[in-house]
Amino acid sequence: MQKLAESKILVTGGAGFIGSNLVEALLDRGSRVVCLDNFSTGKHENISSFLNNPNFTLIMGDIRNKEDCQKACKGVDYVLHEAALGSVPRSINDPATSNDVNVGGFVNMLVAARDAEVKRFVYAASSSTYGDHPALPKREEIIGRPLSPYAITKYVNELYAGVFSDIYGIETIGLRYFNVFGRRQDPDGAYAAVIPKFIRQLIRGEAPVINGDGSQSRDFTYIDNVIQINLLALLTDNPEAVNTVYNVAFGENTTLNELYGQLIALLKELELPVENIKPVYGPPRQGDIPHSLASIDKAKRLLNYNPRFNISKGLQQAIRWYYDNLK
């Protein structure tokens, strides 16, 4: 980890759920960290504990602004690009803004990183890129037709990264995240992810809504697995491991009904009165895929990725964090 301790690393979206966890992991390893965030979805409380750290610099700015990107990349060795407007439903409701942030902002960051001669650009890609391709598990080289504006933007990111690697020689690594969950993930708002939203509702004694019949499945991925692969992507010196994309998951899928059952069991262990709360089933969400399961063979082979948190172990950690922080 000496390489990290000697490096200056930019985390865009560093006040967000994944970004703030990456900032914390890098600071713990002695890196100098720059956080660029416009706080549209990021939260000040996610980074408040870092503000007095001499190795931490906050830049309040927007990746849609070229000058902000250039300022943030100045003197930086590596970029972890997490800034984006997530959520399939959000992109369906407002495709133009999702495109401006996720595509326009991404290109701004690539240009700024190129001009600053950044050594490597690691970016958050998405499992939504697999679209309507039915095969399971999902393998990096086989994708289908995107099913939402969000999915299109994340696929376009991969295309741009590939072109910038080919033309300008900047090293890029894309990480296709599969349903990441864990501490600091926002349980509120119209576009909250299912796990924190369900946990908050159950803690409050409310009945969560499952979109569809609950048989749809996801490869839920705990945040510490995501931290692990981001650090591996920064550290690798294997030339075969760069200028490509990887699935980031555990490699097991869980239905929403199974997820609900696990949440009930774990919350009962905290002596919360949840055993009689039944979910409400609503219509399926537009743009959602029925099943998601990742092959992580490529990440294991080229990056030595070895995720330690399956869904059960991750949920134990996440529920304890929400229980302690949502009171």
31: containing domain: 2-181+222-250+294-308
Q: Answer whether 301's CB lies under 8 Å from 249's CB.
A: no
**Residue 321 domain flag:** no
pLDDT at site 323:
87
- Residue-wise pLDDT for 125-135, tens only, equals 999 999 999 99
**Residue 313 domain flag:** no
For residue 284, pLDDT over 90 is answered with no
**Residue 288 domain flag:** no
- CATH code for position 64: 3.40.50.720
**pTM of this structure:** 0.95
For residue 198, pLDDT over 70 is answered with yes
For residue 1, pLDDT over 70 is answered with no
For residue 288, pLDDT over 80 is answered with no
For residue 261, pLDDT over 90 is answered with yes
For residue 2, pLDDT over 90 is answered with no
Span 32-37, mean pLDDT? 98
**Residue 281 domain flag:** no
**Residue 8 domain flag:** yes
pLDDT at site 166:
97
**Residue 277 domain flag:** no
**Residue 240 domain flag:** yes
pLDDT at site 154:
97
pLDDT at site 22:
98
**Band of the pLDDT at 209, cuts 50, 70, 90?**
very high
Q: Which of 123, 130, 150, 322 is catalytic?
A: 150
Residues of the chain with pLDDT > 90, as a percent, come to: 88
Compute the chain's Rg from CA coordinates.
19
**Band of the pLDDT at 264, cuts 50, 70, 90?**
very high
**Residue 119 domain flag:** yes
> Considering its fold, how many domains does the chain have in total?
1
Residue of 197, 173, 186 lying closest to 285 (CA atoms): 197
β-bridge mates for residue 255, sequence order = 217
**Band of the pLDDT at 190, cuts 50, 70, 90?**
low
Burial class of residue 42 in the structure, from the number of CB atoms within 10 Å of its CB (0-12 exposed, 13-18 middle, 19+ buried):
buried
323 is catalytic: no
